[in-house]
């Protein structure tokens, strides 16, 4: 064990192929993979050998590994501190990390606090003990609405279609108040600002609907880490569990939400699996938080009895068939289609998109 020397720290940009490959090999030796969305690595070297690293992806620390010979020293604490300093330079002060439950105690010592743990698979931690409580207090203070039946929808709306509007209208008709959360991460074909505006404008006619930016506590499938969960099926199930438990344990109680609405999923197996997970984690699993009733609503169909979907709209836009795409969206969305807002680099839709 090295206790008498101090390693040197270095920032490596993910675009540096040679250095990235060195990090990949180091992670592999420590039984870890690598996530594609990492922008920077903070690495520690001792006598030019890489002995520790962590990745930074927006507001999330990932791919954290320390050489076995250095475990039990203060290196982990210093590594996380260096990563927090770099993230702050990037403008990110509220940080999250996902880790194995066995590592929670170690990261507590680095100033991170657990939010949700899923069985023996993964824990989500945050670098403040009050962050989510502050967020929930703000939700309650600014957006609390009285009533017996309070509903919620989480959607990506990429873009906002007649199907999304139908789901909101249906849910609003069954609730005293309805909260609609728009996934905030910009990992979609349309930017968050565009998607939020589409949802807000497309539901203005419903007086009992409030549209919220999703916040960092509603996790996009596109940013969920898989570096320590090797099996893709396990990654998807763990993602769904963490996302849903955050909602059930924190967000729903803040607003007295007791119903959650989602569209049926005839096309995407991943989203269909997420819908099934909603029943498990919101209705069936034992929790200190109250159960939330899950309602799967049959999707609106077009003139040919085909369910309306955002993916179909994106496909038509990619084919430059604006007229056909426009028939699947409300008038409030058409302006975005006509403006050519589609961002070509990312045409996938995060799993949290309900419809």
Average pLDDT over residues 143-152: 94
Query: Per DSSP, what are the bridge partners of residue 177?
Result: 150
Distance CA 235, CA 87 (A): 25
With CA atoms as reference, report the closest residue to 167 among 193, 140, 196, 202. 202
pLDDT in tens, 166-206: 999 999 999 999 999 999 877 778 999 999 999 999 999 99
Structure tokens at 299: 């999707």
Q: Is the Cβ–Cβ distance between 292 and 260 less than 8 Å?
A: yes
> Phi/psi at 291 (nearest 5 deg)?
-70, 155
* Residue range 131-147: mean pLDDT, rounded: 93
Name the pairing type of β-strands 49-57 and 60-66: antiparallel
Mean pLDDT of 285-302: 92
Q: Is the pLDDT of residue 345 over 80?
A: no
Distance CA 17, CA 26 (A): 14
Q: Are 283 and 291 in contact (CB under 8 A)?
A: yes
* Dist. CA 61–CA 267, nearest whole Å: 33
- Global pTM reads 0.88
Tell the residue number behind the tokens 């690293």, with chain if given: 53
In order of 135, 224, 238, 250, 281, the CA distances from 119 in angstroms are 25, 17, 9, 18, 12
Q: How confident is the model at residue 354 (pLDDT cuts 50, 70, 90)?
A: very low
CA 160/CA 111 separation, integer angstroms: 39
- Give the torsion sign (CA, 354, 275, 103, 287): positive
């Amino acid at each position: 064990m090295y206790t008498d020397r101090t390693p040197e720290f270095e920032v490596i940009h993910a675009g540096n192929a040679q250095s990235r490959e060195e990090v990949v090999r180091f992670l592999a030796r420590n039984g870890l993979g690598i996530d594609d969305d990492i922008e920077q690595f903070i690495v520690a070297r001792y006598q030019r050998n890489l002995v520790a690293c962590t990745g930074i992806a927006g507001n999330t620390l990932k791919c954290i590994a320390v050489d076995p010979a250095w475990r039990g020293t203060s290196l982990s604490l210093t590594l996380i501190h260096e990563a927090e300093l770099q993230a702050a330079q990037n403008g990110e002060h509220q940080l999250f990390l996902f880790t194995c439950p066995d590592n929670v105690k170690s990261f507590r010592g680095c100033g991170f606090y657990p939010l949700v743990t899923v069985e023996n698979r993964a824990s989500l931690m945050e670098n403040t003990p009050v962050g989510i409580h502050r967020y929930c207090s703000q939700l309650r203070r600014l957006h609390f609405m009285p009533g017996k039946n309070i509903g919620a929808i989480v959607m990506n709306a990429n873009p906002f279609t007649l199907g999304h509007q139908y789901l909101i209208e249906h849910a609003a008709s069954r609730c005293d108040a309805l909260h609609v959360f728009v996934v905030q991460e910009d990992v979609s074909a349309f930017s968050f600002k565009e998607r939020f505006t589409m949802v807000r404008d497309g539901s203005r006619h419903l007086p009992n609907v409030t549209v919220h930016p999703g916040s960092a506590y509603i996790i996009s499938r596109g940013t969920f880490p898989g570096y320590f969960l090797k099996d893709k099926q396990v990654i998807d199930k763990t993602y769904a569990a963490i996302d849903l438990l955050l909602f059930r344990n924190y967000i729903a109680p803040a607003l007295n939400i007791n119903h959650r609405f989602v569209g049926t999923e005839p096309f995407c197996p991943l989203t269909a699996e997420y819908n099934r997970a909603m029943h498990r984690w919101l209705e069936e699993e034992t929790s200190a938080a109250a159960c939330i009733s899950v309602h799967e609503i049959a999707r609106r169909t077009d003139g040919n009895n085909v369910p309306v979907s955002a993916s179909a709209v994106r496909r038509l836009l990619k084919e430059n068939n604006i007229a056909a795409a426009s028939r699947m969206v409300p008038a409030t969305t058409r302006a975005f289609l006509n403006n050519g807002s589609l961002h070509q680099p990312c045409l996938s839709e995060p799993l949290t998109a309900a419809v």
